[in-house]
Each structure stands twice: as structure tokens, then as C-alpha cells.
Amino acid sequence: MATNGEATERVLVTGASGFLASHIVQQLQEAGFSVRGSVRDLEDDNKVKHLKTLCPEAEHEVELVKAELQDAESWKR
């Protein structure tokens, strides 16, 4: 959490589009953290749309990145 000009802590939530992970993303945002969430497919609105609106009053918008377990290249980014 940012205080007195300090950098905001960023938390990675893997599998962010899942039921439990979605709630974790929301709680982290409400606590003031910057959240990066990994998902399999950024283009699948059915899986990611809800993540963008979980916490509309959050200081930081959730950042979604593609990360497929079976694709080693996707984890390097």
C-alpha cells in the first residue's frame, strides 16, 4: 500500500479469473494493492470482464496478463 510517496506494492494473483482468485483480487484492490492477474486468454470476455469491474473505486485498476502454464514463453513476459 502506498503511503507518504512510497511505491505501491504489486501482488500477482495466478488464475485470477477463477472463483476464489476473483475474490482475492477484489480484497487486494480494496486494501490498496496494485494487482496483476494472470489469465489464460485475455480475449475471452466471459472469463475476464468481471475482473475489470470488481472494485470500481480501487486506487489501481487490475492489470491482466496472459500466462498459460503449458506455454513457457508466456511466463517470461
Domain limits, the chain? 10-72
Tell the residue number behind the cell numbers 480475449, with chain if given: 43
Task: Give the separation between CA 24 and CA 30, rounded to whole angstroms.
Answer: 10
CA distances from 4 to 1, 8, 63 (A): 10, 11, 23
Range 71-76 contact pairs with CB under 8 angstroms and sequence separation of 24 or more: none
The residue with greater pLDDT, 24 or 3, is: 24
> What's residue 11's pLDDT?
96
pLDDT band at 2 (very low <50, low <70, confident <90, very high): very low
Tell the residue number behind the cell numbers 472469463, with chain if given: 47
Q: Would you say residue 70 has pLDDT above 80?
A: no
pLDDT band at 58 (very low <50, low <70, confident <90, very high): very high
> What's residue 69's pLDDT?
72
Task: Give the separation between CA 61 and CA 25, rounded to whole angstroms.
Answer: 11
